[in-house]
Structure 1
Amino acid sequence: MKFNVNVKQGVEVKVIYEDTITCEVLSKLVSTKLFEAKLGQMYIHLLEDGNLVVYLGLGKEKELSLKDLRVTFYNFAKKLIDSNIQEIAMDIPKINGLCSYKTALNIAEGMLCSEYTYDIFKTQKKVSQELVVNYNVNPEKYQKVVEGIKEAKCIVNGMFLTRNLVNQPANVIYPESLAKIVQEEFKHSNVNVQIYGLEEIKELNMHAFLNVARASSKEPKLIVIEYLNDSSSTEKIGLIGKGVTYDSGGLAIKPAASMVTMYDDMGGSATVIGAIKALANANVKCNVVGVVAACENMISGDAYRNGDIIESMSGKTIEIINTDAEGRLTLADAIYYATSHLECTKVIDIATLTGACVSALGEQVSGIVTNNQDFYHQLEEASVKAQEYLHLFPNLPYYENMNKSEVADIKNSGGKYGGAITAGLFVGSFLAKDVPWLHIDIAGTAYISTPYDCNVKGATGSMVKTLYYLMKN
């Protein structure tokens, strides 16, 4: 999709409010109920000279929100493509007191998201003509609109990278291939990527990570992504993404039906990669380090077992209650590494961690555990800008006590109650320093069964935008 600003060319698009219809043509359409300017309603009108005019309804002006704009223009772009309209000219007025920058960003984001298809493995792909969008505004707002569209492109590119990584199966995305993709994505940027192999991981004493990885024939990789773009700041935020590229459950094996989409269990790592991609493309001033402990959780004669007591990089011992609670083990070593070796001043871990979170919150809300309310409020503000939903779980000694082991320092499953919370607190207990920390469980939101908003079925790129706005602000 190509955007131009203030180019008067293509099929004319008129955006119409439901409560400001005045012209005769539109009044006739309303009377016949062909077009009533309801939010998202579209009508293609053939003029006497043979040209087309497309009317797009925006509902009632005072009720219109940025989310309405984003979703409406997402669906609008899909309809234009289906109608084989290849170029449009939209005159965008001042909308409900919204600034030109945010208006352009949300319109562009919605329209760009309409292009996403996952057909990598289709031998016959649907081919559509590129849609050219000529976005016309008051000349005084030209630069703001250009900047808004540019930022939307950066964000959507990051989201699409995340979606593609999560959607691809485990025979394509495994630790080594994931590491190579990361190197390729950032090789022409100011992002530094370091890849550590098996022997180097052993030297770091990442025992918890290695125990999860040891049954797989695929060698684990520790992927470190440094985007240090603000020399004036001493703050360095660690983004720790769960990178289990396939999760069989280990010896606590999952049912067959539950394993089919377990290639998506690296959704946390894909989110970190996509967020840093968006930040780098937009040249955002911040210092971020991504850490991904990438491996598979498989079965073999050498697999770790329920009942084992293993070590971790921190020195803590862990009683293994369930080999299918593996993601928190990889995150334990990764978060300790980020706070002990990389000197991160704040840390966020993000993971498709628990079915308990999905049961509690469904597919549109991510679950949060934190040790710092101020840091959470910053994330919450960013999520509002991103139009993504969060729910803060309680952090109480009651839940922390559930992780206590009688035979080791901690156990990797706190039982059936409060599972999303105990899992998060397990990860947080491996911080090397007392720094602000957020745990984000995207088990429900990273990969969905039912489309909503601008998301198709499958991978969503959830939380890429929220992390982007958090780092930016």
Structure 2
Amino acid sequence: MKINLMDDAFKGSNALLVGVFEECNCVGCCDKAQGLLTQLKESGRFNGNYGEIYTVNGVGEQPREVILLGLGKEKDLNITKVQNLFGKAFKKAQELKLKALDIASFKVEGLCTFRILKAMVEGVMLANYSFDTYKAEKSKCTVEEINIDPSGLELDNEKAEKALKEGMTLAINTMLARDLVNEPSNVLTPTELSERAKAQGEKCGFEVEVFDKEKITELGMRAFLAVGQASYNEPKFIVMRYVGDPGNRDEIVGFVGKGLTFDSGGYSLKPSAGMQDMKSDMAGAAAVIGAMSSIAEMKLQVNVTAVVASCENLISGGGYKPGDIIKSMAGKTIEVANTDCEGRLTLVDAIHYIISKEKVTKVLDIATLTGAVLSALGKITTGVLANDDEFYGVLESAAKKSGEKIWRLPIFEEYKECNHSDVADLHNQGVGGAGTITAGLFLGEFVGNTPWLHLDIAGTGWANSTAECQSKGGTGVGVRTLYYIARNLSQKSCETCK
């Protein structure tokens, strides 16, 4: 499917999509439909309510299909809603088996026009996603061409082209992350994940180095190794480096993604119901690979290093067990109370490595870490822990741009006591409740004074149903937010509004 910016009048042969506000009685570019819209509103058949769609045939001098899209009240519209609206409209175009669709753009009071155009692009592209790699009959999209008229946004050609490119890049790499999460674990092993990261590095322009088991052992990543030691598939440690600001090499943003390509829970075995979805326990890794791809493709003027400790948490005679005491790369010892609290063990070695060896000056980890975050925030919001208000502010700004919802959780000193062990430095299963907080603070023990953010995407990384811009399965959450964090910290932003 091609997405173009129109530089002339709407093509009479194509169907036309027009957004209509609830309080507005005009259709702007579609003057021929003006009287019809008034009639529709007066009869109650179409009122412009949010998400409402009405199709009209034979409008204009060259009769064609016109899709009226209800935008709701202007004051209630935000970037996420724009994405969802155009995702819904695109699916309607597919239902109508349209081959081409012209889209009229519009301004929204209080919303950046640059972001509106990107949201329109992301909405239609993400709505077109499907994971049918292993199906004999592939999904077919009848819509071959989308033409967006940017004139309603009052953006010049250069800015509109930048918005189009950025929107398409982010959508493509969000879908890349979805693909990685949706792959079955017999295909996406730690080795295969590392190969796909390498391929993205070659394609997009960032360096990828992969450490094998021998190198991981040499580095002293015993906590990481313990989690993967029951599996036939050997662990891989993936390091991705992008240098977009070579004159400022002392400033490096660090991303750490959880990379469990399958998690059985180990000897603390998970229930069989839902275990098939544990191929998604590498959604954090998918997010950082997608974000690095976007950062490099858009050539952001910022230095970013990302790491993934990838392995499988399985059961065998050689697996680690409840009651074991293991040593981390940082030298701290950990009492294993629960082998299903494995993510934090892989992440602490990854966090220590990226700070001590890659010398990052800020670090963010993103992980499907706890079921507790589902109890707290459901599948709508990502839970966040932060030790630095300024860095959290960068994340908050990025999340507003991406439309991905976040919520900051408290990190009172009393919570740290929940990770106390009588026989080791730390206990890998917090006691006393607040599981998302105690798991995050377990990681926080390994960051020292480095500004740090922890994103728990156990709820938001996987969708149980299909919605406007989301199909069932991996969501690709985090790709766009991590990209905007890097762009917020970039020396030169490509966006026209902040």
State TM-score, norm by structure 1: 0.96
Whether 2:193 is the aligned partner of 1:193: answer: no
Q: Which residue of 2 aligns with 1:224?
A: 239
Partner residue of 2:220?
A: 205
More displaced 10-residue stretch of structure 1: 299-308 or 44-53? 44-53
Q: SS of 1:343's equivalent?
A: coil
> What SS does the corresponding residue of 2:203 show, helix, strand or coil?
coil
| Aligned residue runs from structure 1 range 237-248, under 5 A | 237-248=253-264
In the alignment, structure 1 residue 403 sits paired with structure 2 residue 419: yes
SS in structure 2 of the partner of residue 440 of structure 1: strand
Q: 1:80 aligns with which of 68, 93, 96?
A: 93
Deviation, structure 1 residue 225: 0.6
Cross-structure match for 2:31: none
The partner residue of 1:125 within 131, 138, 148 is: 138
Tell me, yes or no, if the aligned pair for 1:353 and 1:442 is still in contact at 8 Å. yes
Per-residue Cα deviation, 1:141-172 (whole angstroms, up to 9, x for no partner): 33222211111111111111111111111101
Relative to structure 1, the CA distance from residue 249 to residue 64 in structure 2 (aligned partners, 3 Å threshold; closer, same or farther) is closer
Partner of 1:281 in structure 2?
A: 297
Residue equivalent to 2:46: 35
What residue number does 2:55 align with?
44
Give the structure 2 partner of residue 17 of structure 1: 21
Deviations 1:215-266 (A, max 9, x none): 1000100000111111233311111111111111111111111422111111
State the alpha-carbon separation in 2 of the partners of residues 60 and 396 from structure 1. Answer: 40
Identity over aligned pairs, percent: 40
193, 196, 213: which one aligns with 1:181: 196
Shift of residue 140, structure 1, vs aligned partner: 5.8
* Cα deviation 1:419-465 (Å, max 9, x = unaligned): 1111111112122x421011111111101224455222211111211
Aligned residues: 472
Aligned partner of residue 23 in structure 2, secondary structure: helix
Separation of aligned partners in 2, 1:122 and 1:339: 43
Q: 1:357 to 1:52 in 2, by over 3 A?
A: closer
Q: Structure 1 pair 237/111, CA: closer, same or farther in 2 (3 Å)?
A: same
- Partner SS state of residue 145, structure 1: helix
Structure 2: segments with no counterpart, 5+ residues: 27-33, 489-498
TM-score, normalization by structure 2:
0.91
Cα distance in 1 between the residues matched to 2:278 and 2:270: 10
Q: Which amino acid aligns with 2:170?
A: I
Aligned to 1:5: 5
Cα displacement (A) at 1:137: 3.3
Q: Which of 269, 273, 283 is residue 285 of structure 2 equivalent to?
A: 269
Select between 51-60 and 311-320 the one with higher mean Cα deviation.
51-60
The Cα of 1:131 is off from its aligned counterpart by: 3.4
Q: Segments of 4+ in structure 1 off by > 6 A?
A: none
Q: How far is the alpha carbon of 1:5 from its aligned partner?
A: 1.6
* CA drift at 1:207: 0.6
2:48 alignment partner, SS class: coil
Say whether residues 1:331 and 2:347 are aligned partners. yes
> Whole-Å Cα distance in 1 between the matches of residues 274 and 49 of structure 2?
41
SS of the residue aligned with 1:68? helix
Asked if 2 retains the 8 angstrom alpha-carbon contact of 1:100 and 1:145, the reply is no
Residues 245 and 263 in structure 1, CA contact (< 8 A), matched pair in contact too: yes
Are 1:147 and 2:147 counterparts? Answer: no
Change (3 A) 1:3 1:200: same
Structure 1 residue 377: deviation in Å? 1.8
Q: What's the offset of the Cα at 1:26?
A: 1.4
Contact 1:313 1:333 in 2 (8 A): yes
CA contact (8 A) 2:124 2:469 kept: no
Can you give the 5+ residue segments of structure 1 that lack an aligned partner in the other structure? none
8 Å contact kept, 1:375–1:436: yes
Aligned 1:368-383 pairs, distance under 5 A: 368-383=384-399
- Report the secondary structure of 1:300's partner residue: coil
Residues 140 and 404 (structure 1 numbering): CA distance in 2 closer, same or farther, change over 3 Å? closer
Instruction: Decide whether the 8 Å contact of 2:281 with 2:368 is kept in 1.
Output: yes
Q: Aligned partners of 2:74, 2:341: CA distance in 1, in Å?
A: 49
* Residues 331 and 97 of structure 1, relative CA distance in 2, 3 Å threshold: closer
CA deviations 1:25-73 (Å, max 9, x no partner) are 1122223333222223222222276433332222233443333221111
8 Å CA contact 1:243–1:265 kept in 2: the answer is: yes
Are the structure 2 counterparts of residues 188 and 426 from structure 1 closer, same or farther at C-alpha, using a change threshold of 3 Å? same
| Mapped pair 1:60 → 2:73 | yes
